[in-house]
Amino acid sequence: MSERSERRLSTSVLVIGTGGSGLRAAIELAERGVDVLVLGKRPRLDAHTTLAAGGINAALGTMDPQDSWQQHAADTVKESYLLADPRTVEIVTQGAAAGIHDLERYGMAFAREDDGRVSQRFFGAHTYRRTAFAGDYTGLEIQRALVRRATELNVRILDTVYVTRLLVHDNTVFGAYGFDVGDGTRAVVHADAVILATGGHTRIWRRTSSRRDENTGDSFRLAVAAGARLRDPELVQFHPSGILEPENAAGTLVSEAARGEGGILRNASGERFMERYDPERMELSTRDRVALAEYTEIMAGRGTPNGGVWLDVSHLPRETIMRRLPRVYQMMLEIQMLDITAGPIEIAPTAHYSMGGVWVRPEDHSTDVAGLYAVGEAASGLHGANRLGGNSLSELLVYGRIVGAAAAAYSAGLDAQRRSRDAVAEARAEVDDLLAADGHENVRALQRAVRDTMTAYAGVVRDEPGLRAGLAELDAIEDRMQDVGIHPDIAGFQDLAHAFDLKSSALAARATLAAALERRETRGCHNRSDYPDLDPALRVNLVWSPATGVVQEEIPPVPTEIAELMTEVSSVGKLVE
C-alpha cells in the first residue's frame, strides 16, 4: 500500500481502547485541555466494562463509618495472597472515593439509602460494606456516564479502528498504526504519548466470560512488540459459573447472586458436593475454591453429560427468583429456553479476569517504553493471585485519572517528537503481508486450537507435563500460523482483525504457559497439582518477555499500618468472591 492512501492523524495523547479505563483517561486529558484521540475495535457503548455487574469499591463509610482506605488496602493485599504491589494498592484504595465522586459529577445515579447516602453492600472478603452499585448493571452505568462526559468534552472517538502495532523509535513511542475494520482504510496516528487500555487475555480459553473478539491479549502483543514486559500472566481468575451451551455463548456468566440467594451445586449423581470442599461456607465459598471443587468433581467422572455441574435455584420460591434474579431468569430463557424456576443450570468454571498484565510502575503506570502507559485490565500490580470483588472498577477510575495526568505532563515536557519512517514501514508491511496471505489455514480454526490448548493444559489446575505439552502444541500452532489465508469481503475486514487477534492470543498463551510453569506452587487462582502447597519463597512477581523469558521480581514489603489490619474476615452469610 502506498503512503498516500493512508489516513494520517495526529494528537497529543492517543488512547487505545474505549472501555472504562480508556475513557476515564481521555476525560482527564480533555479536562486538562490536552488534545486526545481514542481508538477502539468495538462500539464504545458495548465495551467489556458494560458486563461488570456487582459494584465498585471505595471506603466511603456511608454504611460502616469505621471503614478506612487502610482497611480496604489490607483486604486487597490479603486477598491477593501477598502478590499485589503494596504501593499500587495504596494508590487505588486512597483514590477510590474520588473516583466515585467523579462518576457522580458525570451524572451517574448510584443506589442510595432513604436519607440520600450512597448505598454500600458486602462483597466477598471485605471487612466492611464498601461496594457501591447501580442495581446489577453497575459497569453499564459507569460506561454510559463516561461516554456521556467524553461526548460533552468533544473527545474524538473512532470506534472501528483496529490498532496493529505501536510505533517506536529509540525505545520511545510516537504513535500507532492500524486499519478500519469496515473498509480497510489504513491509519498512521502520530502521538506524543500512548495509553494502552485494551483489556486482558481471558478469550484464549474455550470457556470465558469475555465475548467473541474481545480480551484476546491485544495489550500483551502491542506492549511486548513495543519493548515492554508482562507481569504475572499466569494469574487468571476462573469464575465458577459459566454456562456450557450453546457453544457461541459458552462461558457466559450466571450471576454470583444465584449462589448468594441460596443456589445449590450438585454433581451428576445429585450430591451437594461443596460439603466435601468447604463444609462451613458451602456454595458461599470463594470463587477459586468453588471453581476448584467443580473442576475436581468433573475430572473425577462426576460431571454432567457436557462436562459441568448443576447449579439449582428451582427450590427457591418463584417470587424470590423473579425479584432477586430477574436477569439470570431472562438470560437463561433467551439463551437456552430454560426456566430456572423449574430446573437446574449446567455450569462449569470459566476464564474471567486477567490479574496480571503489562508491567507498569505503581506511581503513574508508565512502562519500559518512554511515553507508553497501560491501564485497567491491560495493566498489572493490584490484584495478585486473587482479585478482591469490586476492585477492578475502582482501579480503572483511579488509574484512568492518574495515567491521563501523567501522559499530559509527559507530552508537555517534550522538546520534540522523534519519528521513524522505518517503524511505519514495518507496520505497513505487516498488514500488507497478511492481506497477501493465501494459505490454507483458517484463522478461526487456529484461534480455536489455541483455546483448546489453554483449556486442556492451563485451566483451573495445572502440572508440569501438561504445561510442557501446551508449549509444544503452541509451537505447532505457530508453525501453522505461517500458512494462513486472509480474505476480506464485502462485509469488511474482520478476517484481518481476527488474524491479529490470533497473533495476540498466541503470544498471550506463550507468556501464560511459561510463567505458569515457573510458578511451582499453589497460590490463589494458580493451582499446581504437582506443587499443592504455597511456597513463601515464591512471594514474587514473574515478569516475562521474549528476550528474557521468565524473571522473578521482588515485591516491596507491606507497610506496617496495612499489615496490622490483615485479619481473617468473617464470611457468615456472605458470598465470598
Q: ∠ CA(411), CA(413), CA(415), 5° rounding?
A: 100
- Based on the residue annotation, tell me whether 289 is a catalytic residue of this protein: no
Specify whether the CB–CB gap between 366 and 373 falls below 8 A. yes
- In the numeric block, the cell 500483551 is attached to 220
C-alpha cell recorded at residue 367? 512502562
- In the numeric block, the cell 517534550 is attached to 414
Give the C-alpha separation, 541 to 359, whole Å. Answer: 10
C-alpha cell recorded at residue 465? 507435563
Give the C-alpha separation, 297 to 266, whole Å. Answer: 10
Give per-residue burial for 547-572: e unless 16+ CB within 10 Å, then b: eeebeeeebeebbeebeebbeebebe
DSSP β-ladder status, 264-266 and 309-312: antiparallel
Give the C-alpha separation, 540 to 526, whole Å. Answer: 14
Give the C-alpha separation, 319 to 250, whole Å. Answer: 28
- In the numeric block, the cell 483496529 is attached to 162
DSSP state at residue 247: G
Give the C-alpha separation, 165 to 423, whole Å. Answer: 9
User: Which member of 165, 287, 324, 519 is catalytic?
Assistant: 287
Specify whether the CB–CB gap between 199 and 48 falls below 8 A. yes
DSSP β-ladder status, 36-39 and 156-158: parallel
Specify whether the CB–CB gap between 49 and 396 falls below 8 A. yes
* CA nearest to 542, candidates 350, 329, 324, 380: 380
Specify whether the CB–CB gap between 6 and 187 falls below 8 A. yes
DSSP sequence for 375-418: -GGGB-SSSTTSPPTTHHHHHHHHHHHHHHHHHHHHHHT-S---
* CA nearest to 39, candidates 231, 220, 218, 225: 218
DSSP state at residue 573: T
Give the C-alpha separation, 292 to 282, whole Å. Answer: 13
C-alpha cell recorded at residue 497? 482483525
Q: Which of the residues are catalytic?
A: 287
